[in-house]
Each structure stands twice: as structure tokens, then as C-alpha cells.
Structure 1
Amino acid sequence: MSRSTFRRSTIAVILGTGLAIAAPAVASAHVGVSPDTLTADEATVLTFSFTHGCEHSPTTGLRITMPDGLASVSPTVEAGWDIVVERGDDGLVDAVTYAAATPVPSDLRGAVSMQVRPGEDAPESFAFPVEQVCETGVNEWTEIAEEGQNPHDLDAPAPVVSLTAAAEESDAGHASDAGHGESTASDAAASDASEAPDPLAIALGAGGLVAGVAALVVAILAYRRRSA
């Protein structure tokens, strides 16, 4: 193999390796949300985070659109972020914009949060489309997986949280178990009481034992007199 051929092969390998490493990094870049579940009829603080910019351009803001089915939205006041709340005609929050006082470099983690509470007719899941604005460029994390589609196959997925059952249902089960436990404890106490020995029987038994010992002593003394 000539030197030129070897050199071209080496460059191709290096470029291929670089693309292989870069591809997962690009695919994993997104705006995440934590936790990924909401409980019915309960308020939960959601944190939206990112660790990238727009092709390495620092992030200057996030605009998060609220999905239908939320009864209330309360953005968290945090140092380093200015907040603008957009409301609809019904008074509910339609979108929240967080503007960074200082742009967030693409190699640092940025995060904002808000408290939300599902409404009575909440869906099984909530998607929060996010527009990430940078000094140069915009990333729109707005894609929502269709039924049967893997969210990881999306290029720019919107953060999604699912809805879980209200805590009262599980509490009712615990209350039932607790009642069963109390009943079992009462039954055990009653059983112990029925199995407890009768004091009168104990006294009579002790008296009989003493009388028997006395009779034995008398019999031994009488035997010794006859033997003498």
C-alpha cells in the first residue's frame, strides 16, 4: 500500500469515527422534563432542562406551550431568568417564556421549572412543545409521537409527561388493609384472653398440691414410728 493510499484510508477512518460519535450526541440532544409523571388532582413541580444550544450557540430563552387539560400553571421564580406568562381568554396559562439574563453556553446545563396541576378531564399524557431560542438560531422541540410510534425515533421530540391515578385510590386500599389489621389484632387479643388461665383454678390447684405434700409428710413420719 502506498503512502498516499494509507493516508486517505486513515483520514476516512477518522472522519467515520467522528461521525459515529457525533451522531448519538445529536440524537440525544433535546429538552428533558422531570419528573415524567403527574398525579391526578395533585400539583407537581416540573423541571425542564437542556445541556446544549443551537449548534453550539448559547441559549437565550425557552418558550414552553401549555397542553390542554391543565387546571393551573405557576412558573417558578428563579435567579437568572425573566418570566413572561401568556394567558388565554379563559384566564388559563397558554405559554410561559423564560428569558436568560445571561445566555447559557451550550456546554452547561440550564433548567427552569413550574408547578402544574391536572384538571378533572385530564388526558393520559401531556406534551409540552418547547421553542429554544439562541443567540444564533432556534431549536423547536415540538414533535409528538403518534400512536405506535417510538418517541426516540423523533428528531425534535417535545417533552412528555404521563398521568397516574389519584393517591386516594391507593390510600383506600391501605385503609382497608389497616382495618383488616385492626380486626386481626382484636381477634388475637380475644384469643389470648380466652386462652389465659383461670385464677381460681390456679389457687385450687396450688391448694391441692400443698395438701398432697402435707399428707406425704404425715405418712412418712407414721412409717418411721412403726419401724422404730
Structure 2
Amino acid sequence: MTSNTRTTSTRTRRALLASAAVIGGTALALAVPTMASAHVGVSPDELVAGDHGVLTFSFSHGCEDSPTTALRITMPDGLASVAPTLDGDWTIDVERGDDGLVSAVTYTALAPVPNGLRGAVSMGVGLDEDTPESLAFPVVQECVDGSTEWTQLAENGEDPHSLESPAPVVTVTEATADGHGSHDAADTETDAAAEGATPDPLPTVLGAGGLVAGIAALVVAVLAYRRRA
């Protein structure tokens, strides 16, 4: 092999390494936000004791890569009423306890929701003055293949974001003297809309980190190439 051939081969290998570094960093930037947002969430995540509200449970993933077929949501103690929202994309099955109150609601999709598309179901709930400060809604996500139980709750001092399968949780605030919280009904709807429109900053930060890692790898590869050229 001649000197020119060896030089060309070396340069080719370095170029391939640089390209691989960029591709790896980009893949990390795309994958990390997906992993960080892989859970069933609830909006709004705050209600006022003694008030009413509409809770929306949403997801944008299946079980691994399998499409979602149903969500079974268990009701916590402390709810005065539950009224599932009729939706043309889902059938609804309501379970009641011995006291007549709704104990669980199962939403079954008329067509499986593909992985990567957002699915959502909602219900109206009523709270009373004795509702606890926190309401956890365990969710079982059924898929074409397999299922995922979103039932984990953070212990005292534990970061909820560290849980692998967290249950959606709604915080209950105390009512003010006029019987309402710090926000009226219109404010609650506005806040809920804003929350739905504003993405969680954590996936963005993590994604940016992955992109930076890819760029840094490219810079290192280019500098190494220049030193050896």
C-alpha cells in the first residue's frame, strides 16, 4: 500500500468517526426527551378543596413500542363525585364501590393509539372540604402487547421524577374565606391550557445536553484530524 493510499484511508476513517459522533449525539438528543416524558400525566395537577374541576390524563407513548388500547384509572379516597367525559375515540366502563361512588374508570380506545401520538381522556371530579392534600390516581395502561402500571408514589423527601412508573398526582389546596382558592374557575382553565401548551423544560434541557455532547465529539474529532494531518 502506498503512502498516499494509507493517508487517504486514515482520513476516511477519521471522517467516519466524526460522522458517528454527530449521529450519536443527535440520537441522544432525541432519545433522552422521549424517555424523560414517558409517563401518564394529569392536568391540571392542582385543585381547590370543596371545588370542582376537569382532569385530563394524557400520554404520548405505548408499552415499549406497542400501541395503547386502554387506560384503567383508579379513583382515590376523598372525591365527592366523578363524571367521565364522553369521547368519540373511547368507550367508557365505570366501576362503583359499595357506597355507590365511582371506584375506577376504564377508557378503551376504539382504535389503538400508536406510540408517539398523544392520547388523552378526561373526567369531571368534585372535591369536598375533607379531601386530603394529595390525590393519587393509579393508572394501568393496556397495550396491544403488554401493559404498564403507573402506580408508584414518592416517599417523604423522595423526588417524584426519580420514579420509573409514577402515578399521576393532584395537589389539593385549601379554600379561602369566600369558598375558593387563590384562582377562580376561569383562572384554573387558563392555567390548565397554559400548562398543556408549555412543554416540560426537563426534556428540552436533557435534549440540548445530548446535542452539545454530539457537537463536542465532532470538535474533538476534527481537532484530532488536524493534528495528524
The answer to whether the 8 Å contact 1:27/1:155 transfers is: no
Shift of 1:169: 3.8
Q: Does 1:41 align with 2:50?
A: yes
Distance 2:119 2:26 in 1: 29
Aligned residue in 2 for 1:18: 27
Q: Does 1:109 align with 2:115?
A: no
Q: Does 1:67 align with 2:80?
A: no
Q: Does 1:51 align with 2:60?
A: yes
The answer to whether the 8 Å contact 2:42/2:56 transfers is: yes
Q: Structure 2 regions of 5+ residues with no counterpart? A: 1-6, 181-229
Aligned residues: 171
TM-score, reference length from structure 2: 0.67
Cα offsets for 1:103-156 (capped at 9, x unmatched): 112222111111111233211111111111111121221111111111111121
The answer to whether the 8 Å contact 1:39/1:167 transfers is: no
Q: Read off the aligned partner of 2:118 and give its amino acid letter.
A: R
Q: Does 1:150 align with 2:159?
A: yes
Cα offsets for 1:42-99 (capped at 9, x unmatched): 1111111111112222111100011111111111111111111111112221110000
Say which structure, 1 or 2, has more relative contact order (CA 8 Å, 6+ apart): 2
> Percentage identity across aligned positions?
61
2:127 is aligned, of 118, 123, 133, to: 118
Answer 1 or 2: which has greater helix percent. 1
The answer to whether the 8 Å contact 2:70/2:143 transfers is: yes
Aligned residue in 2 for 1:132: 141
Q: Which has the larger radius of gyration?
A: 1
The answer to whether the 8 Å contact 2:72/2:105 transfers is: yes
Distance 2:30 2:89 in 1: 33
Q: Read off the aligned partner of 1:63 and give its amino acid letter.
A: R
Shift of 1:8: 5.9
1:163 is aligned, of 156, 172, 175, to: 172
Distance 1:152 1:169 in 2: 35
Aligned residue in 2 for 1:94: 103
Residues 168, 78 of structure 1: alpha-carbon distance in 2 compared, 3 angstrom cutoff: farther
The answer to whether the 8 Å contact 2:49/2:130 transfers is: no
Cα offsets for 1:180-208 (capped at 9, x unmatched): xxxxxxxxxxxxxxxxxxxxxxxxxxxxx
